[in-house]
Amino acid sequence: MGITVNGIEISDEAINIESAHYEGGDIPERHEQAAIALTVRELLRQRALALELAGSEDEGAVDAAIDALIEDEVEAPEAGESDCREYYSKNEERFRDPPRVVARHILLAALPDDFERRDQQRATAENLIADCHNGMPFETLAQTYSDCPSRDQGGELGEIAPGATAPEFERALWRLPVGLASRPVETRYGWHVVEVIRREEGRLQPYGEVRERIAAYLNERARRRAFSQYVRILAADADIEGIELEAAESPLLQ
Per residue in 88-139, pLDDT (tens digit) is 999 999 999 988 999 999 999 999 999 999 999 999 999 999 999 999 999 9
- What sign for the dihedral angle of Cα 83, 88, 91, 97? positive
**Res. 24 pLDDT band, cuts 50 70 90:** confident
Q: How far apart are CA 121 and CA 129, in angstroms?
A: 12
User: What is the number of alpha carbons within 13 Å of residue 74 lying toward its C-beta?
Assistant: 25
User: Domain ranges in the chain?
Assistant: 3-80+208-253, 100-200
pTM of the model: 0.65
User: In the predicted model, is pLDDT for residue 27 greater than 70?
Assistant: yes
**CATH number of the structural domain 100-200:** 3.10.50.40
The DSSP code for 20 is T
**Res. 22 pLDDT band, cuts 50 70 90:** confident
What is each CA distance from 170 to 16, 101, 161, 174, 176, in whole angstroms?
A: 45, 10, 9, 6, 10
